[in-house]
C-alpha cells in the first residue's frame, strides 16, 4: 500500500511563519512502529516523522512524505523518485558503496524483552536453557539461531514481532529479541513486559542520498547535527522510546566531517557541528 502525505513545514521567525524555500520528497516505511505508523485520520506519526518535520521546519522547506514498502525505497531513491530516505536504514559498508549516507542519528542494537518482574540479565550466557521468541525471517531470527549452540537457548519463530512479544506475556517464551527501538516501544505499550539485555552491534541508522548529492547531504546533515547539539533528538528519543539516549550514542554525538566516519562516502571536513 502506498500513500502520500504532503505538508508545509515552516520555519518560525519572530513568531511568524517563513515562506518555504525548498521542497523535498522523502520516503519511509509507514508500518515500522514506532518510527513511522498510520494514525486514525490517515496520516503518519512516529520518531522519524517527527524528525523529518523538525528538519523541514529548520530549513523552511516543504516536505512530501511517501509511505511505501521498504523493499522499494532504495531502488526508488536511485531512480530519482525520492530526494532522500527517512526510513531507518542501517549504514553498512555495502550500502555505503552504493549510496551517500548522513551521519548516524540513532544506534541500532539488539535488545531483549522479558516478563515484568523477571530477573536482571547482564550477559547473554544467562539465557542458557531459555526459549527465545523471534520474528520469523528477521535478522534477529538468524542471529539467535547462529548462537543457539553457543548460548544453549531454544529459538522459536513467530509470524510477527507482536506474536513474539505475546509469547513472552503468556509464558511460552522467556524472552524475545528485536531492534532496541522497537523493543522499547513494545515495553512502553505493554506493562506486562520489561526491557532486558542490550546487545550492542556497533551499527547506526542514517539517511541515504544518491551519490553525488553532496550539497543536499550536507544541508540535511547540518540540521541533524544541530538537533543533536540542542537536545531535540534526545527529546524525541524520550517521547517515542521512553528512555534517555546514552551519552555517547549517535542520538547526541555529532560526527566530524560529512557522513559516517570510516565508511565509503565519508568526506573529511573541519566544520563545527552546531546550530548556525
Burial 101-111 (b: 16+ CB within 10 A, else e): bbbbbbbbbbb
Tens digits of per-residue pLDDT, 28-80? 999 899 999 999 999 999 999 999 999 999 999 999 999 998 989 999 999 99
| Structural contact between residues 136 and 95, judged by C-beta atoms closer than 8 angstroms | no
Of the candidates 188, 145, 141, 191, which has an alpha carbon nearest to the alpha carbon of residue 161? 141
Whole-model pTM: value is: 0.84
Q: What is the pLDDT of residues 92-104, one digit of tens each?
A: 999 999 999 999 9
Q: What is the pLDDT of residues 171-220, one digit of tens each?
A: 999 999 999 999 999 999 999 999 999 999 999 999 999 999 999 999 99
Amino acid at each position: 500500500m502506498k500513500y502520500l502525505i504532503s505538508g508545509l513545514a515552516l520555519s518560525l521567525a519572530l513568531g511568524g511563519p517563513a515562506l518555504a524555500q525548498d521542497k523535498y520528497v522523502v520516503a519511509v516505511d509507514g508500518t515500522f512502529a514506532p518510527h513511522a505508523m498510520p494514525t486514525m485520520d490517515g496520516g503518519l506519526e512516529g520518531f522519524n516523522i517527527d524528525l523529518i518535520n523538525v528538519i523541514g521546519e529548520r530549513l523552511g522547506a516543504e516536505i512530501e512524505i511517501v509511505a511505501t514498502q521498504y523493499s522499494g525505497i532504495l531502488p526508488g531513491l536511485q531512480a530519482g523518485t525520492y530526494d532522500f530516505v527517512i526510513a531507518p536504514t542501517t549504514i553498512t559498508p555495502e550500502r555505503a558503496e552504493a549510496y551517500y549516507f548522513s551521519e548516524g542519528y540513532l544506534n541500532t542494537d539488539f535488545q531483549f524483552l522479558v516478563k515484568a518482574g523477571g530477573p536482571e540479565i547482564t550477559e547473554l550466557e544467562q539465557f542458557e536453557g531459555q526459549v527465545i521468541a523471534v520474528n520469523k525471517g528477521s535478522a534477529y531470527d538468524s542471529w539467535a539461531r547462529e548462537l543457539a549452540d553457543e548460548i544453549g537457548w531454544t529459538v522459536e519463530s513467530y509470524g510477527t514481532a507482536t506474536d513474539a512479544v505475546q509469547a513472552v506475556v503468556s509464558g511460552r517464551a522467556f524472552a524475545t529479541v528485536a531492534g532496541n527501538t522497537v523493543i522499547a516501544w513494545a515495553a512502553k505499550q505493554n506493562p506486562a513486559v520489561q526491557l532486558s539485555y542490550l546487545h550492542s552491534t556497533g551499527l547506526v541508522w542514517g539517511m541515504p542520498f544518491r551519490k553525488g548529492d553532496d550539497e543536499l547531504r550536507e544541508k540535511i546533515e547540518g540540521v541533524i547535527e544541530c538537533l543533536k547539539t540542542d537536545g531535540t533528538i534526545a527529546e524525541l528519543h524520550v517521547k517515542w522510546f521512553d528512555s534517555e539516549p546514552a551519552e555517547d550514542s549517535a542520538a547526541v554525538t555529532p560526527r566530524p566531517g560529512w557522513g559516517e566516519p570510516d565508511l565509503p562516502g565519508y568526506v573529511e571536513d573541519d566544520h563545527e557541528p552546531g546550530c548556525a
